[in-house]
A = this chain, B = another copy of it.
Amino acid sequence: MRAQQAVDLPADAPGQPPGGGDARPRRDRAATRRRLLEAARDLFAEHGYDHVTVRMIAGAAGANVALVNRYFGSKAALFGEVLASESGLHAVFAEGPEGLPRRLAERLARQVAQDRPSPMIRSLDRSLGNPEVLPILRRHLETVLVEPLTALLEGPDARVRATAAATILLGAGSVRRALGLDALRESDPEALTDRLTAMFEAALAPS
């Protein structure tokens, strides 16, 4: 077993001489791997799969380019691992179907207010075009969004309703990217939450 480093590194400069009396090993596979994963998570969320290069990831992590492939096999595999590390909407679903539309709306409205959509959504709406990552993305989306939501709804058309709700969630990502969120902030957060709640209710309602 390897001693776990409890230190959460900030983005440190690679060639930096030891600043203080830090005796931490300068070579740490686990830490480097983690830095790469976190850098990839942030960059994919910001720019999408296609427009993030492995050199960008390595640079942000203060690591060598070759380590991306050494530790993750390939850029696509790294993307898959990033997705797998996302918790998704688990917390929202855990509370059951009661009040679900409002909880979804609140979550989305909060993200709008902060201009901080979930990494999953951000990665997604900027990575849709790539046929290489599409299966990874699809599987992830099914697992963390559609299937839990479908299970929560019950009934024959549960999947249709879940997909309709997914349309709003994914659409918000596209809107954020393509139009910006300024328009949505014209109304106050409460009014926006109410509107989104109504939209989710319409999407999730039994037919």
Contact = CB atoms under 8 A, between A and B. Distances in A.
| A174, A186, A192: residue with the most chain B Cβ atoms closer than 10 Å | A174
A88 to B, nearest CB: 14
Contact of A187 (B129, B160, B191): B160
B174 A128 contact: yes
B174 A195 contact: no
30 contacts: A47-B129, A48-B128, A51-B129, A51-B130, A51-B131, A128-B177, A134-B178, A137-B178, A142-B179, A156-B186, A160-B183, A160-B184, A160-B186, A161-B195, A162-B183, A163-B183, A164-B184, A164-B195, A166-B175, A167-B171, A167-B172, A167-B175, A168-B168, A168-B171, A170-B178, A171-B174, A174-B174, A191-B207, A199-B202, A201-B202
B178 A141 contact: yes
SS class, residues of chain A in contact with chain B:
helix
Query: How many identical subunits does the complex contain?
Result: 2
A146 interface: yes
Interface of A: 47-51, 124-131, 134, 137-138, 141-142, 146, 156-157, 159-164, 166-175, 177-180, 183-184, 186-187, 191-192, 194-196, 198-199, 201-203, 205, 207
Contacts of A199: 164, 167-168, 199, 202-203
A169 to B, nearest CB: 7
Nearest to A51: B129
A178 B141 CA distance: 8
